[in-house]
Amino acid sequence: WNEPIIFELHNPGHRGIEVPLASEALKKEAGDVYATIPQGMRRQKAPALPCVSQARVLRHFLRITQEVIGADLNVEIGQGTCTMKYSPKINERLARSPKMSELHPLQDERSVQGILEIMYKTDLLLREICGMDRVSFQPQSGSQALMTMASLIRAKVEHDGKGEQKDEIITTLFSHPSAAASAIVKGFKVRTVGPREDGYPDFEQLKALVNERTAGFICANPEDTGLYNGEIKKFTELVHSVGGYCAYDQANANGLFGITRARDAGFDMCFFNLHKSFSTPHGCGGPGTGAVGVSKDFADFLPAPVVDFDGEKYFLNDELPHSIGKVRVYQGTPQVVLKAYAWMRALGAEGLYEVAKIASLNNNYLYKRILELRGTSVPFDSGEQRVEQARYSFQKLFDETGVSTEDVQRRMCDFGLHYWTSHHPYVVPQPFTLEPTEFTSKEDIDEYADAIAQIVEEAYTNPEIVKSAPHNSSAHRNDESPFDDPKQWAISWRSYQKKFED
């Protein structure tokens, strides 16, 4: 489509929808409401929103949605670390019932027993999966869950009387950027453990960093490399030995359901992204839920309220004496919890175990297919299996053909496929990160790997076609110069008008 910006559809005679107007009878009794508005507080200039007819608004947005490729539409492997899986439509149907959507968070508990029951039972299921003692659904995302964990560690060390002394958090280089960034937000200094040559986090580096200042240790396992660190318990024990606490980023737990549990590896807390491993859809980036599970030592520190059951009815329990307060208004995003609950119920224990096995099998199958291609490699390689994802490198391809991983990325668009490189700064050179999940079929993996194979072939025979991509996507190559230039950047249509249309 080449759909214009919505403002370009403006016609002052058009209208999208009408709003109920107060009846004359009501207006008469209410009196002159405008007179109540204090001097200077009434809107002077109507907002310059566009006037567009209803059907045209619909057409506009329908067309634009066709220019997005969600997990429902493509072979969803290329957004590694994102754990893109199938979000069953039945779960969405349930979540969109008015019995869910038309609830106000302050309703009397008697009138919301259904959703409270679902939240409570989801808490129980997640406790069983991670081995923790209590779960909060308040964080709306993984990053917010990381911030919540940093907040819990801060509150706990202060409660331990060591608030002044313990001001460092240790993380690992292949953990999510937010693990480090959210610790900073919570006033910690960040220390980073790098990987060994074989890709595992370096225990020797950890030893060098752990000391009486260590408040906590936050890591993923597997990290973005997809390697499972079998020595993880040594790590947590070392941190515990100096009075620090251990937090596990299980945003993506997809490869480990029923295999091993966070608590058993010595962690004090962990979190799951319900919008990743538990299949609730990403919605272009939220709302999701980063469900934080903690051991009983931390249960009273959680953001309040949590959902409890008194044997007869479910209720919101605000009695958390050491609560960090809140990280999100009300109770988080309950409709996301509902979808995750339905997903777990559809699978049961054996199903979750199968998820872990198949996600892993798919990844190792893909891993072998990718490494058979010319120009690919995996730095930081232990020779071991990967769990659910892997970070690859096209350094060799780049050296031999001049085709960079960003070139491959743009070319993949022409196949209607995603391809993600890596967070910055790149640790792996010319990186790309792939993650199939259990919903990916063998046919899908082959289709994806075949596309990469074709691009590799092109790189060696006709690199120009790769470098000049995309050729066949919904958009052509951007002029990227404005994005980092304050004089040119335009973060709204009105800025664009001002900067470019004069």
Partner 1 sequence: MDHKFSHHPYIPNSDEAIKREMCDFVGISSVEELHRDVPDELRLHRSLDMPKAIRSEYELYRTVSGMLQKNETCEENINFLGSGCYQHYVPAICDEINSRAEILSAYAGEPYEDHGRFQLLFEYQSLMAELLDMEVVNVPAIDGAQAAATAIRMAERATGRKKAVVCENILPDKLAVIRNYCTPAMEIVVLPFERESGQFDLDSLKKLLGEDVAALYFETPSFLGTVAGNAREAAELCHACGALCIIGTDPAVLGVLEAPVNLGADIVCGDVQPLGMHMNYGGGQGGFIATMDDERLVREYPSRLFGITRTEVEGEYGFGDVYYDRTSFADREHGKEYVGTQAALWGITAGVYLSLMGPQGMQELGETMLYNARYAAKKLSCVGGVSVKYLDQCFVSEFVVDFSKTGKSVGEINDQLLSRQIFGGRDLGGLFPGMEGCALFCVTEVHTKDDIDALAGALCEILGKEGK
Distances from the Cα of 470 to the Cα of 337, 433, 464, 482, angstroms: 38, 20, 11, 20
When CB distances are held under 5 to 8 angstroms depending on the partner's kind, the choice from partner 1, a copy of itself, none that residue 261 binds is partner 1
Per CB under 8 A, which region of 109-117, 201-209, 390-398, 454-462 contacts partner 1? 109-117
Name residue, tokens 């058009």: 14
Identify the DSSP state of 3.
P
For 321, the token pair is 């004496």
Task: Candidates 20-28, 55-63, 146-154, 200-208: pick the segment binding a copy of itself (CB under 8 A).
Answer: 55-63
Question: Please, which of residues 400-419 interact with a copy of itself by CB under 8 A?
Answer: 416
Work out how close the CB of 416 gets to a copy of itself at its nearest, in angstroms, rounded to a whole number.
7
Strands 431-434 and 168-172: unpaired
| 164 closest CA partner among 215, 206, 207, 208 | 215
Q: Tokens 């809107």, residue?
A: 43
Q: Which range in 31-39, 240-248, 394-402, 449-457 contacts partner 1 by CB under 8 A?
A: 31-39
Number of chain residues interacting with partner 1 (CB under 8 A): 223
3-class DSSP state of 401: helix
C-beta closer to a copy of itself: residue 254 or 422: 254
DSSP state for residue 195 in the 8-state scheme:
B
Task: Kindly state whether residue 207 participates in binding partner 1, applying the rule CB under 8 A.
Answer: no
Q: Does 183 bind partner 1 (CB under 8 A)?
A: yes
Distances (CA, A) of 297 to 122, 147, 245, 365: 21, 18, 11, 41
| One of 159, 196, 240, 423 touching partner 1 (CB under 8 A) | 423
When asked if residue 163 is in the footprint of a copy of itself (CB under 8 A), the reply is no
Query: Rounded to an integer, what distance in angstroms lies between the CA atom of residue 338 and that of residue 117?
Result: 10
Contact call for residue 370 and partner 1 (CB under 8 A): no
> What token pair was written down for 393?
């490198």
Nearer to partner 1, 400 or 465 (CB): 465
Grouping H, G, I as helix, E, B as strand and the rest as coil, residue 5 is coil
x/- binding map, residues 478-497, to partner 1, per CB under 8 A? xxxxxxx-x--xxxxxxxx-
Cα separation of 336 and 119, whole Å? 10
Q: Which of 322, 341, 346 is nearest to 124 (CA)?
A: 341
Q: Could you say which of partner 1, a copy of itself, none residue 113 binds, taking C-beta under 5 to 8 angstroms by partner kind?
A: partner 1
Q: What is d(CA 178, CA 171) in angstroms, rounded to the nearest whole number?
A: 10
Q: What is the CA radius of gyration of the chain?
A: 26
Q: Is the peptide bond before 470 cis (omega within 30 degrees of 0)?
A: yes
The footprint of a copy of itself on residues 452-481 (CB under 8 A) is: none
Please say which residue, 53 or 385, places its beta carbon nearer to a copy of itself: 53
Window contacting partner 1 (CB under 8 A); options: 52-60, 211-219, 392-400, 459-467? 52-60
Q: Which of residues 238-277 bind partner 1 (CB under 8 A)?
A: 255-261, 264-265, 273, 275
Taking CB under 8 A as the rule, does residue 441 contact a copy of itself? yes
* Whole-number Å distance between alpha carbons of 237 and 244: 9
The upper half-sphere exposure of residue 81, i.e. CA atoms within 13 Å in the direction of its Cβ, equals 20
Asked whether 431 and 391 are in contact (CB, 8 A), the reply is: yes
Say whether residue 20 binds partner 1 (CB under 8 A): yes
Stretch that binds a copy of itself, among 60-68, 114-122, 264-272, 421-429 (CB under 8 A): 60-68
Q: What is the Cα–Cα distance from 107 to 42, expressed in whole angstroms?
A: 33
Q: Which does 467 bind (CB under 5 to 8 A by kind): a copy of itself, partner 1, none?
A: none
Binders in 283-312 for partner 1, by CB under 8 A: 283-288, 303
Read off the tokens for 495: 């800025």
Per rule CB under 8 A, is residue 357 in the interface with a copy of itself?
no
Q: By C-beta, is 260 or 377 nearer to partner 1? A: 260
Binding mask 66-105 for a copy of itself (x = CB under 8 A): x-----xxx-----------x-xx----------------
Pick 1 or 500: Cβ nearer a copy of itself: 1
Contact segment (CB under 8 A) with partner 1 among 241-249, 390-398, 433-441, 458-466 equals: 433-441
Closer CB to a copy of itself, residue 87 or residue 273? 87
| Residue 188 engages a copy of itself in binding (rule: CB under 8 A) | no
- Tell me the CA end-to-end span of the chain in Å, nearest whole number: 27
Show Cβ contacts of residue 411 under 8 Å, excluding neighbours closer than 6 positions.
Answer: 455, 458, 465, 466, 469, 470
CB closer to partner 1 out of 57 and 299: 57
CB of 2 to partner 1, least distance (A): 6
* Helical pair 177-185 and 142-159, crossing angle rounded to 10 deg: 50
> Binding to partner 1 by residue 140, rule CB under 8 A?
yes
Residues engaged in binding a copy of itself (CB under 8 A): 1, 9, 11, 14, 53-56, 58-59, 62-63, 66, 72-74, 86, 88-89, 416, 439, 441, 443-444
